[in-house]
Amino acid sequence: MRWRRARPGFISVTDHATYETLHTASVAGRHLADGFTDDGCERAAPYLRAMLATPGLAVCDTSSVIVWEGEGGHHLPAVMDHAAPVLTSGQSVVLGPDVVTCTSVECPIRAAVIAPVTVDDRVIGAIAGYGPTVSAGLARAADEVASWVATQVELADLSFERTRAMEAELRALRAQISPHFIYNSLAAIASFVRTDPARARELLLEFADFTRYALRRDGAFTTVSEELRNVERYLVLEQARFGERLGITLKIAPEVLPVRVPYLAIQPLVENAVRHGLAPKEGPGHVTLTASDHGSEAEFSIDDDGVGAHPEAIRKVLDGQSRADSVGLGNVDARLRQVYGEEFGLVVDTAPGAGMRVSFRVPKYSPALEDPA
């Protein structure tokens, strides 16, 4: 018996057809990533027509035709009349030659199936497939394609809401920049004006750079390098106030410096360690910030030997049941979970009198790290 290895590729015609369908849907989905927009529908229309395999296809919203794709463009003026019952009732319709009339013998369009695009029980538009006839299979396919488009729109809405939620969290975090920190920083700067003017000038520049970064409006993400530079500014200002009471150790793996992370993801955790951990402590304290490389992920930890906290109090902060976290521990946790998923939130180890360790990890490469255009 002769044996020959099969050529690589699709095992059957069915497999090939499945691949083509999934690929077409994937490309169309990318164009609908911003929702049921005119531009997105226009770009997706060729792929939607391929999914239905009809000579012509129209996409409309509740007021007008967004795009006609394929043959028979002269039917476009009639689309809204054809789609009116669908947009009103939310039910698909099949139209025959008595409705889809045409005087051109070369035009392949004599029938149509129109299916509603329904989001949150509200019809936002319709998909209309035009061709010579409408089979039961085409009618079902039109319903499925319209339902799939509705799902893409819902996903886009969720993504938009997630972005808005994250922007709201950032606005809240900026608003939480401690007035005590600002007052204490300026007081520390003022104390050096007469005794060490050069030091006062240096601290004032650090304060200006810190507040400029903390209040910036250009994007929800930054690099670890930029975030750590702002942490350094913050610590310089706090050391001017605490003096030898505040010890600092930074352990930074160079590999993580270009990694993009949510803006203001690290500095609030360091501030939490200084303000809630070391400030109430008698005598000196120490904060250690570690950024380490773990292949596809980067890990960050902030350790302090301060007064610690009760684990139940921290749990309530992270669950959003307590407003005691004025520095942003819960805020950072919520934003990490919004961007990367529930498994990427903060991990907090603490006990009264035992200090605190706050850590989190992030994927080094993720589509979620791209700022929306």
**Is 3 a residue whose pLDDT tops 50?**
no
Environment class of 121 (CB within 10 Å of its CB; exposed 0-12, middle 13-18, buried 19+): exposed
**Average of pLDDT values for 68-82?**
94
Q: What is the pLDDT of residue 204?
A: 87
Mean per-residue pLDDT over the chain, rounded = 83
Confidence of residue 77 (pLDDT cuts 50, 70, 90): very high
285-294 β-sheet, strand order = 246-252, 285-294, 297-304, 356-363, 347-350
User: Which residue is listed with tokens 């610590």?
Assistant: 235
Paired strand residues for 231: none
Assess whether pLDDT exceeds 70 at residue 289.
yes
The answer to whether residue 132 scores a pLDDT higher than 50 is yes
pLDDT at residue 71 greater than cutoff 70: yes
Residue 235, strand partner residues: none
> What is the pLDDT averaged over residues 278-292?
92
Q: How confident is the model over 179-207, as pLDDT tens digits?
A: 666 767 777 788 777 888 888 888 888 88
* Homologous superfamily of domain range 215-369: Histidine kinase-like ATPase, C-terminal domain (3.30.565.10)
Task: For residues 67-78, give the mean pLDDT.
Answer: 94
> Start-end ranges of CATH 3.30.450.40 in the chain?
13-173
pLDDT bracket for residue 292 (50, 70, 90): very high
Helices 136-175, 329-340: inter-axial angle, 10-degree rounding = 160
pTM of the model: 0.54
Nearest-angstrom CA–CA distance, 183 and 180: 5
Is the per-residue pLDDT at 52 higher than 50? yes
State the pLDDT at residue 131. Answer: 94
Query: What CATH class is the domain 13-173?
Result: alpha beta
Domain with CATH 3.30.565.10 in the chain: 215-369
Residue 171 has pLDDT above 70, yes or no: no
DSSP 348-367: EEE-TTS-EEEEEEEESS-G
